[in-house]
Structure 1
Amino acid sequence: MEQIVPFDDYFKQKLDANGKLGFSPQVKMTATLRMLAYGTAADLNDDYLKIAETTSFEACKRFCHAVNNLYKVEYLRKPTREDLQKLLQKAEERGFPCMLRSLDCMHWEWKNCPMSQHGAYTGHHGRPTIILEAVAS
């Protein structure tokens, strides 16, 4: 939060159009992290945080943009020779020689899938699912 708030003014607490103090950075980021961590819909934050769906969605979009821009140089880069050596050494210690990364996929049932999207996201069990893909190194 200490790096995201200065990066994007949207997260600063300001007065709204009615002259009332708007949401704090903590509320906007809590809404965002709930959506990202639990896969909840933006409108569910209204019950818990009293924050509108549009505000939750905008906070999530801006949070992801900020994280990408702030950390891409360090974390979204090609590995160096030293990085590769560390990864290969760690993999060998764990019993996976010559492995740099592994890919795993799983289907998660999408409980809050909009009715209009059911057909597009129907999985192998006949229910809406999304696929979580994780690459670990």
Structure 2
Amino acid sequence: MPGHWRIHRNRLEGHNRLYNDYFADPAVYPDYIFRRTFRMKRDLYFKIVQAVEEHDPWFQQRRNAAVELGLSSLQKVIAAFRMLAYDAAADSLDECLRLGESTIIESMRRFVRAIIEVFGNEYLRAPNEEDTARLLDMNQ
């Protein structure tokens, strides 16, 4: 396309590195480093990824017209998590995740919308009397 830059980022390598670092058995980084890096347990992370994938098909890995695998849901969701957890700029995540800035911004936009629509009624609401009582019991 005239005037359009195409950077071959080797997206599959980015997914494989990410998977081997955090999700393989055994992973390069153990559970406590995953928790420190992503500020949650791995099981919760997978619950969120699954919910986001089911809600928005954009997060599902697909093949393009050349039958090449596209970006994985792990890459797209981790981009949003890293922006939220570390207040990272979109272009700072390109090298480690193998995603372009515009894709990272789109991931963040769709991720936030999916979280609000999927988990909003349960977690993004003001606490009721039952919640307050449960929290007070936990703190005693």
SS at match of 2:50: coil
Q: 1:55 to 1:37 in 2, by over 3 A?
A: same
Percent identical among aligned pairs is 37
Q: Which has the higher contact order (CA 8 A, sep 6+)?
A: 2
TM-score normalized by structure 1? 0.60
Q: 1:69 to 1:30 in 2, by over 3 A?
A: same
Match of 2:58 in 1: 10
After TM superposition, where is structure 1 displaced by more than 4 Å over at least 4 residues in a row? 88-91
Segments of 5+ residues of structure 1 without an aligned counterpart are 94-137
Q: Which has the larger radius of gyration?
A: 1
Residue correspondences, number: 92
Match of 2:104 in 1: 56
TM-score normalized by structure 2? 0.58
**Superposition deviation, residue 20 in structure 1:** 2.2
Structure with more strand by fraction: 1
**Superposition deviation, residue 17 in structure 1:** 4.8
2-structure distance, mates of 1:44, 1:78? 34
Match of 1:83 in 2: 131
**Superposition deviation, residue 89 in structure 1:** 5.0
2-structure distance, mates of 1:21, 1:88? 49
Structure with more helix by fraction: 2
Q: Kindly provide the CA deviation profile for residues 29-78 of structure 1, in whole angstroms up to 9, marking residues without a partner as x.
A: 11111111111111111111111000000001111111111111111223
**Superposition deviation, residue 90 in structure 1:** 5.3
Letter of the structure 1 residue corresponding to residue 133 of structure 2: Q
Q: Kindly provide the CA deviation profile for residues 54-112 of structure 1, in whole angstroms up to 9, marking residues without a partner as x.
A: 00000011111111111111112232222233345556x4xxxxxxxxxxxxxxxxxxx
Match status 1:66 vs 2:114: yes
Letter of the structure 1 residue corresponding to residue 56 of structure 2: D
Cα RMSD for the two superposed structures: 1.8
